Amino acid sequence: MSLRTTPRRLAGAAVAVATGLVCVPWAQSASAAAPAPSSAARHCVADARSGQQSCFGTFTEAVEAATGGRITDAPATPGAAAASKSFRTEAAEADVGAKADVIQGTFFDEKGFTGASLTISGPELCEKDGWVNWQFDLGDDWKNRISSVQPWGNCAIWLYPEPNLGGDRDGPFDENTDDVGQMMNDRTQSIGFS
């Protein structure tokens, strides 16, 4: 496994559910993050730099928060977003011109992009240079819950069973994956974005 830290990368970690990206280049843990989402607020967004997590009742609200208002008409559910080619195109175009955080990945606690979601947002698109560009340690409310993933922001996703990118990784998940498979289903504790 190759890891890289560079001065231009941010140090910090956060936990995210529906539309927030946590990009942490080899730094802090987010184990003291916000409480688990309630049934009324099942779609959460995590900010990579601050570690702040906000939860929303709809996926649409979560995407709006994660994109700083650049996308206000996201589908109501993550499954609909995964199936909508026009939405994925809109999201990619919004990310390319963004001067603020971009969504790097959305994670779900059920297979098929269902259940609660955590979206992690970071400061920029992934570089696709063969290195893990960002690291995110899940908080206690999201450890051992991920069953399906959606990469965003030009990122490929690596899942790890231990904090700080520890243990045998699985991936890269570089397209919508409705079932991460037996190796990492409900076992992820940290995420690498490359």
pLDDT tens digits for range 124-162: 888 888 889 888 899 898 999 999 999 998 999 999 999
pTM to 2 decimal places: 0.74
CA pair distance 19, 121, nearest whole angstrom: 7
- State the chain's mean pLDDT as an integer: 76
Q: Is the pLDDT of residue 169 over 60?
A: yes
Please enumerate in sequence order all residues whose Cβ is within 8 A of that of 3, keeping only pairs 6 or more positions apart, or say none: 26, 131, 132, 135, 165
CA pair distance 26, 6, nearest whole angstrom: 10
Q: What are the structural domains, with CATH classification, of the chain?
A: 43-193 (2.60.20.10)
Please enumerate in sequence order all residues whose Cβ is within 8 A of that of 65, keeping only pairs 6 or more positions apart, or say none: 19, 20, 45, 54, 56
